[in-house]
Homo-oligomer: A and B are copies of this chain.
Amino acid sequence: MADIATIVRDVADEMAALTDRGEVATYIPPLAHVDPRQFGLCIVTADGAVHMAGEAEEPFSIQSVSKVFALTQALGKVGDTLWRRVGREPSGTPFNSIVQLEREQGIPRNPFINAGALVVSDVNLAGHEPRVAIGELLRFIRYLAEDDTILIDEIVARAEQETGFRNIALANYMKAFGNLTHSPPLTLGVYFHQCAIAMSCRQLAMAGRYLMLGGLHSPGGPRVVSAQRARRINALMLTCGHYDASGDFAFRVGLPGKSGVGGGILAIAPGRASIAVWSPGLNENGNSKLGTAALERIAEATGWSVFSQAEQGLSRPASS
């Protein structure tokens, strides 16, 4: 196997040459104005090395990637009782579908579709003001990334609030089934702000290390979650992290991953790497087009797919 630095550079070069970059999300105005020619990549390996290419230090709206950190926060608060209010199955429907909620009595299929993430926000709200819950999440992400400059983009947050009619519908619909504890506007306030967190690829890859390291903050660092919980969050990312294209992502890339409509994807190679990639153009499923292509190339070049023969995969880096 080529070394990681070479792979990172090669993949970034390859992506720079592509012209069909998908469509930038337009559903909220601030996202629509992002330059689609950007591409960033950062890989943090298990030994702590950081490899970057492209616009890896440019902050972007992490959107649904935030659901991974919010889920971790909620599991910390209520543990496995969370699963009484949200399922763990792929949905078989788009990220913002309301049909499944009617069929299943207000219990969202998993914490990574919007309805499930709203339940997670409701758990994180825990009777406080929205700004308390969102402040807590922001501090958690800063701690994971070891970077206090991470901020919420208030322009994006406001735009989400003004145009998020489907999310308002989802929240009220679950409230009707008794699956929101707080008033919908409060829960939605947390959710809209969480989606508006801005991070660079470097910050995101750093923040994802605990999922690569069996729950540890950093190599040899303190424990953030148990090894079992890290495994389970990875499992949810693999089966549900790309909405109704999760099966295809597992098939092509073979890594737990979570995408956002801002064009970012966080992918985890357990025991090996935390990878963040960003390119604003989306494919027909709402996932970053170049981001997905880059991850497919990286998985191929490194043998990091969780479905590879593990020993072979590991022996390769040793021999490189």
Query: A-side interface residues toward B, CB under 8 Å?
Result: 46, 87-93, 97-103, 109-110, 165-166, 168-173, 175-176, 184, 212-214, 227, 230-232, 234-236, 238-240, 244-248, 250-251, 254, 256, 270-272, 305-314
Are B165 and A173 in contact (CB-based, < 8 A)? Answer: yes
> What is the bound-complex CA distance between A230 and B92, given in angstroms?
24
> What is the bound-complex CA distance between A166 and B102, given in angstroms?
11
The chain B residue sitting closest to A212, CB to CB, is B309
Q: Which residues of B contact A172 (CB under 8 A)?
A: 165-166, 168-169, 172
Q: Which residues of B contact A99 (CB under 8 A)?
A: 98-99, 102-103
> What is the bound-complex CA distance between A155 and B281, given in angstroms?
51
The 8 Å CB contact of A271, one of B213, B250, B312, is: B312
The chain B residue sitting closest to A92, CB to CB, is B92
The 8 Å CB contact of A231, one of B102, B171, B305, is: B305
> What is the bound-complex CA distance between A227 and B93, given in angstroms?
31
Are A270 and B308 in contact (CB-based, < 8 A)? Answer: yes
Q: Distance in Å from the Cβ of A316 to the closest Cβ of chain B?
A: 12
Are A87 and B214 in contact (CB-based, < 8 A)? Answer: no
Are B254 and A231 in contact (CB-based, < 8 A)? Answer: yes
Are B165 and A309 in contact (CB-based, < 8 A)? Answer: no
Are B46 and A311 in contact (CB-based, < 8 A)? Answer: yes
Q: Distance in Å from the Cβ of A271 to the closest Cβ of chain B?
A: 3
> What is the bound-complex CA distance between A166 and B230, given in angstroms?
36
Are B246 and A232 in contact (CB-based, < 8 A)? Answer: no
> What is the bound-complex CA distance between A176 and B98, given in angstroms?
12
Are A310 and B272 in contact (CB-based, < 8 A)? Answer: yes
Are A214 and B169 in contact (CB-based, < 8 A)? Answer: no
> What is the bound-complex CA distance between A246 and B247, given in angstroms?
11
Q: Which residues of B contact A88 (CB under 8 A)?
A: 247-248, 251
> What is the bound-complex CA distance between A94 and B92, given in angstroms?
11
The chain B residue sitting closest to A103, CB to CB, is B99
Q: Which residues of B contact A230 (CB under 8 A)?
A: 307
